[in-house]
């Protein structure tokens, strides 16, 4: 069986990084500070930061006072943009048996999966700054 929600650890780190950066008053946050604040592996975070930078969601700065900040695009990005940058577009499933369309009329899950997918999609389409309550 498959789960209704598939987000990698890297994508979760990306979302938490975006939330962390959205809440920072200082211009740049070093990767080591982000890793410590999120309690994640520095090496894993570094790979995520590279992908988010490549996607244009973060701006890096090198040097002793370097670090990362959300780019203009990152500040206005939706949750979906951060997930897509790491995992690609998430696939929604209406059936836990891997069928594209549930073949059972009276599925024991009823409308649960359809409702879960609708709610998840609503979160994906919200802005990072909106969810973190920072603008």
Block means of pLDDT (10 residues each) for the chain, length 135 residues?
Answer: 70 95 88 95 96 96 87 93 92 68 68 81 86 59
- What integer pLDDT is reported at residue 24 of this predicted model? 84
Please check whether residue 129 is in contact with residue 135, taking contact to mean a CB–CB distance below 8 angstroms.
yes
Q: Which domains does the chain have, with CATH numbers?
A: 9-131 (1.10.10.10)
Nearest CA to 5 out of 110, 131, 121, 101 is that of 121
What pLDDT is stored for residue 117 in this prediction? 81
pLDDT of 94: 67
What local confidence, expressed as pLDDT, does residue 120 receive?
A: 84
In our burial notation (b when 16+ CB lie closer than 10 A, e otherwise), range 93-108 reads bbbbeeeeeeeeeeee
């Amino acid at each position: 069986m498959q789960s209704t929600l598939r987000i990698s650890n890297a994508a979760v780190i990306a979302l938490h990084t975006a939330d962390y950066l959205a809440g920072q008053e200082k211009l740049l946050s070093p990767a080591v500070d982000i890793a410590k604040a999120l309690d994640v592996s520095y090496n894993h975070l570094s790979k995520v930061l590279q992908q988010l930078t490549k996607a244009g969601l973060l701006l890096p700065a090198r040097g002793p006072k370097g670090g990362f900040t959300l780019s203009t695009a990152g500040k206005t990005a939706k949750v979906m943009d951060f997930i897509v940058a790491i995992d690609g577009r998430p696939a929604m499933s209406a059936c836990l048996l891997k069928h594209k369309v549930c073949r059972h009329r009276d599925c024991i899950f009823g409308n649960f999966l359809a409702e879960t997918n609708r709610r998840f999609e609503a979160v994906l389409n919200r802005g990072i700054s909106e969810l973190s309550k920072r603008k």
